[in-house]
Amino acid sequence: MSNVPRAPDADHPPAQASWSRAGNGEGDTTLEENWLFRLRRERFRSRLSGREHDFYVMHLADAVHAIALTPDDQVLLVRQFRAASAHDSLEPPGGLLEPGEDPREAGARELLEETGYAGDPAVFLSTLWSNPSIVTSRTTTIVIRNVHRVAEPKLDHNEEVTVELVAAHDIPRLIQEGRINHALCVAGLLWWLQARPDGTLA
Amino acid sequence: MSNVPRAPDADHPPAQASWSRAGNGEGDTTLEENWLFRLRRERFRSRLSGREHDFYVMHLADAVHAIALTPDDQVLLVRQFRAASAHDSLEPPGGLLEPGEDPREAGARELLEETGYAGDPAVFLSTLWSNPSIVTSRTTTIVIRNVHRVAEPKLDHNEEVTVELVAAHDIPRLIQEGRINHALCVAGLLWWLQARPDGTLA
């Protein structure tokens, strides 16, 4: 069942959280709401001390990254502008999930839209909290083998994406040198590399 | 020079970004500003198409996580509530940097404050963009060896932290099982494991 998406800690449900929502939400405030996220200040109460504290929480959709492999063991990456770093970033193709969407379907869809490539059915690799201090989003990484170019990319009108093929054995060096430096992508790629016999990072 | 902090891509500066700030910022808006972050909508212009687009950018301080090792190869972890996941999260000790602060100093400080442990001078491991789509923060991971308990923890009044010691060889299993599931911590831990001879993730 290793290809069935799994929520973080699904096999080992955590003990009851040490803080719970305070009251019925009357202490909460929505600070900003737009097409991408809802930013809120939410009040929690410590089960230990009874103390209440307001936390900032950005409600943002879950994301997926697709590690797409060609038959000759090249990895398909995309380079695109990222506003918060003000740099172009080299990453596995990916994007946000629609509500309730299976990350394997979403990842295959994003791969096709951004690169025009498609391949074998997607295999689930990992799901992690993107930054559980402040963002509700989880990031899933999937693997799609035997990808081929089957169509033209279909980009949103503000997306400008360059496709790059990189030998799989070069991925550790690209991470080490800082050429792949998006933490959520690096977490998925390192997880994937660990499962490969030659996956050592120098 | 491997222990000198390095910005992402410092050795290989990226080519000019494909988008640049539009105008003098007159299209930008600050949506929320508080002690933790400044959320803005910022206008950029594509160098390729000339098209302008507004991106949401959360200006948040850089962070550090400290992989702290005891002389008998145990890793010091902390368990604490994370509001956006509404779960308690198992992580290396860490926190936010003061402006201009060296992440090695900040990591040693956070280790001492959260756990009461201190050890050898911190060694730099990696710096990654936490989520360059939307957050300006970078996350650095450092390693501190030979840690011993030297003091009582000094927690902020809303911090409730439990210290846990875990054998280093159990870290891959804890990640695999989803017990350590904060992506920014997992990226640092997997990077560190890759450099260890026994660092394979089953």
- Calculate mean pLDDT across residues B14-19: 83
pLDDT number for residue A12: 53
Asked whether the beta carbons of residue A84 and residue B19 sit closer than 8 angstroms, the reply is: no
The reported pLDDT for the residue numbered B197 is 60
pTM, two decimals, is 0.92
Contact B134 A83 (CB under 8 A): yes
As a whole-number percent, the residues of chain B with pLDDT over 70 amount to 90
pLDDT at residue B14, rounded to an integer? 56
Is residue A14 predicted with pLDDT exceeding 90? no
pLDDT of B12 > 80? The answer is no
Confidence of residue B117 (pLDDT cuts 50, 70, 90): very high
Chain B contact for A22 (CB, 8 A cutoff): no
CA A66 to chain centre: 9
Sequential DSSP letters for chain B: -TTS---TTSSSPPPPPSEEE-TTSTT-EEEEE-SSEEEEEEEEEETTT--EEEEEEEEE--EEEEEEE-TTSEEEEEEEEETTTTEEEEE-SEEEPPTT--HHHHHHHHHHHHHSEE-SPPEEEEEEEEETTTEEEEEEEEEE-S-EE-S-----TT---EEEEEEGGGHHHHHHTTSS-BHHHHHHHHHHHHTSTT----
Looking at every residue in chain A, the average pLDDT score rounds to 91
Question: CB–CB of B187 and A182 under 8 A?
Answer: no
Whether A131 and B184 lie within 8 Å, measured CB to CB: yes
Given this model, what pLDDT does residue B4 score?
41
Which of A199 and A121 is assigned the larger pLDDT?
A: A121
pLDDT at residue A197, rounded to an integer: 60
Encode pLDDT of A86-133 as tens digits.
Answer: 999 999 999 999 999 999 999 999 999 999 999 999 999 999 999 999
> Mean pLDDT across chain B, nearest whole number?
91
CB contact under 8 A, B85 and A129: yes
CA distance A149 to chain B (A): 24
Angle of helix A183-194 relative to helix B183-194, nearest 10 degrees, comes to 50
User: Which residues on chain A are in Cβ contact (under 8 Å) with B58?
Assistant: 58, 84
Which chain B residue is nearest to residue A30, measuring alpha carbons?
Answer: B32
- B193 compared with A12, residue with greater pLDDT: B193
Q: Inform me whether the pLDDT recorded for B29 exceeds 50.
A: yes
Whole-number Å distance between alpha carbons of B202 and B174 = 11
The two beta strands, A162-167 and B135-144, are unpaired
Q: What is the ipTM of this complex?
A: 0.92
Q: List CB contacts (< 8 A) between B17 and chain A.
A: 81, 86-88
Is the pLDDT at B11 greater than 80? The verdict is no
pLDDT at B181: 98
Interatomic CA distance for residues B128 and B160, integer angstroms:
27
| Residue A196 clears pLDDT 90, i.e. is over it | no
User: Looking at residues B49-68, what average pLDDT do you find?
Assistant: 97
Per-residue confidence (pLDDT) for residue B5, from 0 to 100? 45
Residue A13 confidence (pLDDT) above 60: no
Q: Which two tokens stand for residue A103?
A: 């990350």
Interface membership of A88 toward B (CB under 8 Å): yes
